[in-house]
Structure 1
Amino acid sequence: MIESFRERDLLSLSNLLFAGFAGVTGVAGSYAVAGNTRRFVVAPIDALVVRMTPGEIVAFVIQNVGEEGHLLHLALSFAIAIGVLAATARVGLAVGRRDGRPVTGVVLAGSLAWAFAASITSQPALAVGAAAPVAVWTAVGTLSPTTVGQDPSRRRMLVSSASALAFVGVSLGLGRSTNEGDSVTDGPTDTNGKVTTLMQDAEKTSLDISGDTPGLVSSFDEFYNVDIAEFDPDLSPDDWSMTITGEVGTDVTVPFDKLTDMPTEHRFVTLRCVGEGLNGHKLDTAVWTGTPLAPLLAEADPDGECDCAMLKAEDDYFVQFPTEALEDAFLAWGMNGQSLPRSHGHPVRVLVPGHWGETNVKWISEIELLDEEMDGYWEQRGWHGTGPVNTVAKLWSETTLNDGRIEVAGHAYAGTRGIERVEVSIDGGDTWQDAELSEPPPGDDVWRQWRHAFSPDGTHEIVVRAVDGEGTLQPENRSDSFPSGATGWVKKTVSR
């Protein structure tokens, strides 16, 4: 009787172990062939988790966890994928061992794993990457000894674990090599050197700041990046088109070659994330290459009968604007003289001057013209509207200069209102002095650098505030980013 119980326990433990190995290696195998794309088996699960998460939880995570919050839904998505693939192996192991037909169990497990991966990714060929490891580990499990007399040794378990880890390691390497091509742009968009000249001119007007405050143009690596899900769409310009639909007489479809044949502009545009903290670093500027959106909207709705437009993205994101807010909007396919990187909306994204960063839709695929307002993605989750951005002066660096003075510096931004001046207090707000400002880059929606140096005398409470181009002082009252963006004056204590 005791031996019978032990045999059943060993069988159950063995099944769980090999099912676990199958689940982990199945996910790894999918990553090896699909990389960090939406063809990876975890990607559609992650998208579903994001869509199903209540807005209250999303807001809580953004405010209390910050930019690492995306790791929570990603971890849950991995766990679900591993669990489902492990379950397919568990079924195969049960059938193979119970009926003494290991081949049947292996085929069943592999088929179930393939069906699961193929159905959620719509990639039947790549689904083999997930199914094959599941079938292999089901085979190993069904052939492993489990009776008392054939007790699987610690060595066998160690070898199995090491083999699974080795497979995961190889898969990570293969998946990364797959990703290398996904982030590569299609080539330069600065064929006449205009963007290079603009960037060089901006560099010349940047302040000579000693600290970590960046210049007036952010590189690809510096530019912040926030999306609703972890896996970006992978689109080719040849396959891309945007359709204007809705309350229009005839749908207008714009392929990439038509878009790039339209009048081309190069614009400095600054983006700021609505979910960042008051002194956060999700604020950047680039030179964008593209064409105005207004002519395409006029082609679809020549009489201007539609008051609203819903902008939709390939990643299922959507934002609603009044059509008047889109009069100066911009369809961009270039960034700093190169094609858009995949993570920034390749091949085409929308830029709407003066509005929060999340409303500048990446991977734009459709514009639906409406005769009444509808909530966008973030509005459905409790955030307020599409803009305009709040005025802010950031305090990003403090440096002791060679002459003993302390230099504080940062950037200021107020959307299309512009920045008139930045004021600095070194005594907690009792007195104020104007900071030195850089010239703004040419454009209607850009930031400016500021800096201020002073001779320290003990402890100083530094406070900074901005005045926008309309003469309005940045509000002092502090608020969290949810639901309308962080507000308040940035403060920092400095002792020397």
Structure 2
Amino acid sequence: MAENRDHFIIGFVAGSAALGIMFFFRIFAGGLFIPELAAQTLFSLMPGTVESVAVETLGPLAKQMAFAGAIVANLFLYGAIGVLSHRTYQRLAHKGFVINLSQLSLLSYAILFVLVTIMLEVTQFLTQPIPISLTSLYLLPPHIVFGFILYFKFRRQVTGPELVQQTNPNESLTDLKRRQFLRIAVASAIGSAIFFSGSGFLFPKPERTPDVPSDSRVLQPAKSPIDIFADPRLAFFVAAEVTPNDRFYKVDVNILTPTIKENAWKLNVKGLVNNPLELTYEELKSMPAVEEYATLECISNKIGEDLISTALWKGVPLQSILSNAQFKPEAAYVVFKCYDGYDVGIPLERALETILTYEMNGVPLPPEHGFPLRAVVPGIYGMMNAKWITEIEVVDRTYEGFWQRQGWSNNAQYQIHSTIVLPSAALTSRFRDLRSLKTVAGEKVPIAGIAFAGDRGISKVEVSMDDGKSWQEARIKEPLSNYTWVLWATEWIPSTAGRYSIVVRAADKTGKVQTPEYQNAFPNGSAGYHRVDINVEAS
């Protein structure tokens, strides 16, 4: 048993080195990183009900923990291969270096190649699509190193005990434990290095959005004629009506962001069209473009949370491209297929309002937000606004994309949401430099937030300072477009000190009022009132 444990640790250490080399090739040559593939395979197989619970409980950590778990599982697999490899090594130890290195490397290579082949067949996603021929080549260097480490560690084990006994038999057990400790330490250090190297991609440092010219519409949203929005205490809130790129929410199925070279990218338009198209990035950008402010929200966003953002998008109306392709009368759905394997379909009537965007807030789309091309589809949740688009197919039937096959809504129409941003701590990831407001009895305090109902707009926002017993109408700032959130605000003078519960509700322009009943995000998006409790101090 102790001998197996030693061989497991050796395999674990050698596996750490192999993963380190794999990660190097993944970052600098677009190679395969097995834990990334394993995590994406897990996402592909996970039912929507399970995935929704994971997202509800862990948020973005769900994806990060899956990746970390895949790294650990891969290291344990290498440990088991270390035990198995030693048994084959014992039978061939007398064959010499070349034979031993070959058998130790090929055994691990064969096991991992089979597993990778199975995962490539099962997974619906692949951040960096790689032909199986290249996959087989990318797996070779890590497993040659794996076999090399096993060979020298196994070889030392054969001669090591004899040398220890000749030196000092009484110290052999102590030396063995010391060596075992060093192996564990090295394994942990290398494994941690791999994880934290990857964490730069899992927890990216915010990248500053390049400055845009002073006459840019991004930096000069329309000023509101309503005096309440001129309150200095709301200055940071109003200034963040457009979300900077480095604060725009990011949700997708990828562990590492897909990297696409614009000169190698093409958009194919096919299906029920008389004139199939193939457009390069430059050809797409040369077409007549439009700019539009639009808010996107993730369907997994919980009440009062921050998976919602607004940006100025620039791109080509999808209607222009479909018209050039001459879609047929029987067309019903337009399907987006993406570089990473993601797919989603939207009704034709939605497609005719969609923008295929290549700029965001005055700069080219950042890679994490879909470079070179993403769809911005008014009125429906973010999962329908595909990123990294490479193909558009027109079909004659209702199409269910990846998340719909997992049980999420295919209608995906935005619920009515209203959120209290001040004086609560909601949406601090989207609104920069918000200042906490001191609430004192007898003094006027602003209450402010956002409301959103997709392309249906917001007609009214009401706020209650007594947990819904009475309501007062808030003022609404003119929205940046028909597709964005609105900022709302009101003023309140608490009469006495104590604890108050503030609640907000909204109505859209069709007359529908936000439901007070709480609803989980799965499958149609969360619903219910946002409520915050505050303490009012005595004057």
- Give the TM bin, normalised by the shorter chain: 0.7 to 0.9
Task: Give the superposition deviation at 1:323.
Answer: 0.8
Q: Deviations over 1:463-491 (max 9, x none)?
A: 10112233332222221111111111112
| Correspondence list, 1:424-435, <5 A | 424-435=463-474
| Number of the residue aligned with 1:274 | 299
Structure 1 stretch displaced more, 312-321 or 53-62: 53-62
Secondary structure of the corresponding residue to residue 100 of structure 1: helix
Secondary structure of the corresponding residue to residue 202 of structure 1: coil
Task: Give the superposition deviation at 1:33.
Answer: 3.3
Q: 1:182 to 1:299 in 2, by over 3 A?
A: farther
Q: 1:495 to 1:183 in 2, by over 3 A?
A: closer
| Number of the residue aligned with 2:491 | 453
Secondary structure of the corresponding residue to residue 198 of structure 1: coil
1:17 to 2, 6, 9: 9
Structure 1 stretch displaced more, 203-212 or 37-46: 203-212
Unaligned 5+ residue runs, structure 1? Answer: 1-8
1:32 to 13, 24, 31: 24
Letter in 1 for 2:61: E
| Number of the residue aligned with 2:417 | 392
Letter in 1 for 2:52: A
Query: What is the aligned-residue RMSD (CA, Å)?
Result: 3.3
Letter in 2 for 1:437: I
1:476 to 511, 516, 529: 516
| Number of the residue aligned with 2:169 | none
2:379 to 354, 366, 376: 354
2:339 to 311, 314, 324: 314
Q: 1:58 to 1:38 in 2, by over 3 A?
A: farther
Mapped contact 2:297–2:381 kept (Cα < 8 A)? yes
Does 2:190 align with 1:198? no
Task: Give the superposition deviation at 1:405.
Answer: 3.8
Task: Give the superposition deviation at 1:360.
Answer: 0.2
Q: 1:488 to 1:179 in 2, by over 3 A?
A: closer
Mapped contact 1:93–1:105 kept (Cα < 8 A)? no
Structure 1 stretch displaced more, 166-175 or 394-403: 166-175
Q: Deviations over 1:419-447 (max 9, x none)?
A: 22321110122221122333311x22101
Letter in 1 for 2:34: V
| Number of the residue aligned with 1:65 | 58
| Number of the residue aligned with 2:532 | 492
Mapped contact 2:8–2:80 kept (Cα < 8 A)? no
Q: In the comparison of the two structures, how many residue pairs are matched?
A: 483
Q: 1:38 to 1:100 in 2, by over 3 A?
A: closer
C-alpha distance in structure 2 between counterparts of 1:330 and 1:386, whole Å: 19
| Number of the residue aligned with 2:506 | 466
| Number of the residue aligned with 1:3 | none
Q: Deviations over 1:180-203 (max 9, x none)?
A: 999989x9897xx59x62112128
Secondary structure of the corresponding residue to residue 378 of structure 1: helix
| Number of the residue aligned with 2:40 | 47
Task: Give the superposition deviation at 1:416.
Answer: 1.0
| Correspondence list, 1:182-331, <5 A | 193=213, 197-202=216-221, 208-210=232-234, 213=237, 215-331=240-356
Q: 1:211 to 1:279 in 2, by over 3 A?
A: farther
Mapped contact 1:400–1:407 kept (Cα < 8 A)? no
Q: Deviations over 1:245-294 (max 9, x none)?
A: 22334532222111111112222110011111111111101111211111
Structure 1 stretch displaced more, 206-215 or 306-315: 206-215
Mapped contact 1:225–1:344 kept (Cα < 8 A)? yes
Secondary structure of the corresponding residue to residue 269 of structure 2: strand
Letter in 2 for 1:227: D
Structure 1 stretch displaced more, 86-95 or 338-347: 86-95
C-alpha distance in structure 2 between counterparts of 1:228 and 1:427, whole Å: 41
Mapped contact 2:93–2:100 kept (Cα < 8 A)? no
> What TM-score results when the alignment is normalised by the length of structure 1?
0.87
Mapped contact 2:202–2:256 kept (Cα < 8 A)? no
| Number of the residue aligned with 2:433 | none
Task: Give the superposition deviation at 1:415.
Answer: 0.9
C-alpha distance in structure 1 between counterparts of 2:188 and 2:72, whole Å: 17
Structure 1 stretch displaced more, 239-248 or 357-366: 239-248
Q: 1:209 to 1:235 in 2, by over 3 A?
A: farther
> What TM-score results when the alignment is normalised by the length of structure 2?
0.80
Task: Give the superposition deviation at 1:301.
Answer: 3.2
Secondary structure of the corresponding residue to residue 216 of structure 1: coil
Mapped contact 1:34–1:178 kept (Cα < 8 A)? no
| Number of the residue aligned with 1:154 | 177
Letter in 2 for 1:421: K
1:439 to 466, 475, 478: 478
Structure 1 stretch displaced more, 406-415 or 236-245: 406-415
Identical pairs, percent: 23
Q: 1:126 to 1:486 in 2, by over 3 A?
A: same
Q: Deviations over 1:325-371 (max 9, x none)?
A: 11110111111122111111111111101110111000111122111
Unaligned 5+ residue runs, structure 2? Answer: 121-129, 165-171, 424-436
Letter in 2 for 1:481: A
Structure 1 stretch displaced more, 401-410 or 92-101: 401-410
Mapped contact 1:183–1:342 kept (Cα < 8 A)? no
Mapped contact 1:38–1:44 kept (Cα < 8 A)? no
Letter in 1 for 2:459: E
Task: Give the superposition deviation at 1:92.
Answer: 3.5
Mapped contact 2:516–2:528 kept (Cα < 8 A)? yes
C-alpha distance in structure 2 between counterparts of 1:172 and 1:70, whole Å: 14
Letter in 1 for 2:380: H
Structure 1 stretch displaced more, 119-128 or 158-167: 119-128
Secondary structure of the corresponding residue to residue 501 of structure 2: strand
| Number of the residue aligned with 1:106 | 101
Task: Give the superposition deviation at 1:22.
Answer: 1.8
Mapped contact 1:264–1:289 kept (Cα < 8 A)? yes
Structure 1 stretch displaced more, 87-96 or 18-27: 87-96
Letter in 1 for 2:12: G
Task: Give the superposition deviation at 1:135.
Answer: 2.7
C-alpha distance in structure 2 between counterparts of 1:351 and 1:276, whole Å: 18
